[in-house]
């Protein structure tokens, strides 16, 4: 026991020494941006800006990113700063944003945590409909604010020998020059030491061979059936939230605006009328906000108006029901526009589906849209380990045009639009015709 304490003390000293020798760094604490006007439709940007900065600034050398919890820990115990490499700096990034028409204005303030002095202040503006460009502006601005404080990298020694007539004698390495290599293997050394001590007292039974077996030029790692559990009870809370959001996404994701139709006499046939109606399709605003704020997604990709959310089994349990619904496309629905007469019966139906099987249902009251003017703004993909949800935040204006007898056109009193599941469309049309 005494021997183990001595070894642990030596290893801890080496770890502390390696940290102190790692060189200074800049620690940046990023907390949620403040929505100045409290406009609910853009409230999601408060966390969205954090995700944008974390995704880009992670690759900046000598920069360490921290969050709200890390800031609270530092505030509660300032002695934690002593564990950082000597010469390190700590900064807090404060952000405020507001929407002005189609633009988003962001005010940034960089505060030195050691003195609470303002180190820098910047302002930038970007288009709300071009989030990717706003993302680039935000990251470049923050990088410019931090550049004066980030320590310069030391020039790496070339791997090639220098040309000289007299080469100085090699200096034997010491414990100081090998500290980094020692610290890099500390975790492995501790594991090996514990394993060897357990084997001596029989705590681990017989030492087994490495699980990775080399067979010629093939490396094989044998996995048991329990290596990837299909169900984790700890994920129940996240899975319940996911199911609620997915049910809303699949059952009622769209916002519809129906504009008043136009009726014009057909110049070629006085008994007919040309009818056109414009309908605007878009996703409900709260859907993207719910996805950003309520669910712990494992990945987020954005390209213009397209957003792709990743969810994996580390945080969620995917039920067989949701797998079947996604794989077989049971969430897909077709818009059916009904022109109802004074008896609330459909005088005309517009079916926005290019499926030939649906078009076989013949009726003079049904007008099929063969080029599929409506485009789904949401899609799902699921595999063995992860699920993706793709959302497109755009508005699709669609104009439907057709010809009607004057008597039929005069009988129309109201217009309704209903999304019918693709698998149930044929049965639905047969029931109302």
- CA 84, CA 151: separation in Å to the nearest integer? 14
- CA 155, CA 1: separation in Å to the nearest integer? 45
- CA 382, CA 25: separation in Å to the nearest integer? 41
- CA 63, CA 149: separation in Å to the nearest integer? 10
Query: 3-class SS at 394?
Result: coil
- CA 226, CA 232: separation in Å to the nearest integer? 12
**Token pair belonging to 222:** 């044998």
- CA 136, CA 142: separation in Å to the nearest integer? 10
Checking DSSP bridges between strand 299-303 and strand 306-312, what pairing results, if any?
Answer: antiparallel
Residue partners of 322: CB distance under 8 A and separation at least 6: 243, 246, 382
Maximum Cα–Cα distance for the chain, whole Å? 107
Estimate the crossing angle of helix 285-293 against helix 45-57, to 10 degrees.
50
- CA 327, CA 391: separation in Å to the nearest integer? 18
Say if residues 48 and 292 touch (Cβ distance below 8 Å): yes
Chain-centre distance for alpha carbon 419: 28
The neighbouring-strand residues paired with 34 are 96
Domains of the chain: 23-149 (3.40.50.10070), 233-432 (no CATH)
Position 16 scores a pLDDT of 47
Radius of gyration of the chain (CA): 32
- CA 210, CA 200: separation in Å to the nearest integer? 19
Position 217 scores a pLDDT of 59
CB atoms within 10 A of CB 253: 18
- CA 407, CA 341: separation in Å to the nearest integer? 11
- CA 78, CA 72: separation in Å to the nearest integer? 10
CA trace torsion 347, 353, 356, 358 (10° rounding): -50
**Token pair belonging to 18:** 């390696």
Show the low-confidence residues of the chain (pLDDT under 70).
1-22, 153-218, 220-231, 294, 354-372, 433
- CA 154, CA 390: separation in Å to the nearest integer? 43
Query: 3-class SS at 43?
Result: coil
Q: What is the pLDDT of residues 295-314, one digit of tens each?
A: 777 788 878 788 888 888 88
Query: 3-class SS at 387?
Result: strand
Position 227 scores a pLDDT of 44
Question: Which residue matches tokens 């029989």?
Answer: 202
Position 356 scores a pLDDT of 61
Please return the burial class of 151, using the count of CB atoms within 10 Å of its CB with bins 0-12, 13-18 and 19+.
Answer: middle
Q: Using alpha carbons, list the distances in angstroms from residue 48 to 43, 296, 362.
A: 9, 13, 50
């Amino acid at each position: 026991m005494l021997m183990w304490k001595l070894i642990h003390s030596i290893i801890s000293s080496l770890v502390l020494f390696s940290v102190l020798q790692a060189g200074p760094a800049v620690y940046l604490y990023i907390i949620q941006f403040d929505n100045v006007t409290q406009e609910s439709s853009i409230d999601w940007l408060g966390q969205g800006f954090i995700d944008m900065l974390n995704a880009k600034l992670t690759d900046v050398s000598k920069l360490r990113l921290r969050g709200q919890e890390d800031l609270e820990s530092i505030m509660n115990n300032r002695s934690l700063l002593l564990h950082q490499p000597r010469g390190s700096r700590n900064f807090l990034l404060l952000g405020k944003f507001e929407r002005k028409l189609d633009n988003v204005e962001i005010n940034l303030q960089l505060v030195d945590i050691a003195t609470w002095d303002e180190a820098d202040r910047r302002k930038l503006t970007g288009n709300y409909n071009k989030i990717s460009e706003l993302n680039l502006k935000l990251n470049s601005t923050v990088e410019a604010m931090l550049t004066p404080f980030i320590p310069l990298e030391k020039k790496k020694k070339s791997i090639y020998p220098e040309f000289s007539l007299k080469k100085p004698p090699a200096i034997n390495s010491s414990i100081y020059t090998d500290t980094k290599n020692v610290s890099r293997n500390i975790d492995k050394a501790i594991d090996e030491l514990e394993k060897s001590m357990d084997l001596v007292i029989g705590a681990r039974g017989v030492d087994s061979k490495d699980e990775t077996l080399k067979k010629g030029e093939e490396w094989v790692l044998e996995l048991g059936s329990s290596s990837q559990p299909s169900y984790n009870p700890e994920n129940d809370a996240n899975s319940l939230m996911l199911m609620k959001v997915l049910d809303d996404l699949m059952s009622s994701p769209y916002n519809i605006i129906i504009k008043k139709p136009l009726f014009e006499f057909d110049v070629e046939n006085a008994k007919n009328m040309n009818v056109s109606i414009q309908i605007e399709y878009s996703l409900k605003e709260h859907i993207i906000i719910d996805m950003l704020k309520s669910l712990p997604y494992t990945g987020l990709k954005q390209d213009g108006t397209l957003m792709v959310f990743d969810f994996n089994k580390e945080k969620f349990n995917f039920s067989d029901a949701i797998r079947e619904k996604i794989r077989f496309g049971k969430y897909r629905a077709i818009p059916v526009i009904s022109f109802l007469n004074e008896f609330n019966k459909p005088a005309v139906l517009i079916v926005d589906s290019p499926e030939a099987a649906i078009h076989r249902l013949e009726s003079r009251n049904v007008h099929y849209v063969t080029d599929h003017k409506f485009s789904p703004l949401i899609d799902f993909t699921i595999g063995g380990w992860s699920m993706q949800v793709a959302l497109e935040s755009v508005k699709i204006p669609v104009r439907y045009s057709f010809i009607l007898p004057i008597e039929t056109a005069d009988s129309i009193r109201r217009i309704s639009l209903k999304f019918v599941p693709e698998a149930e469309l044929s049965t639905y049309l047969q029931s109302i015709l």
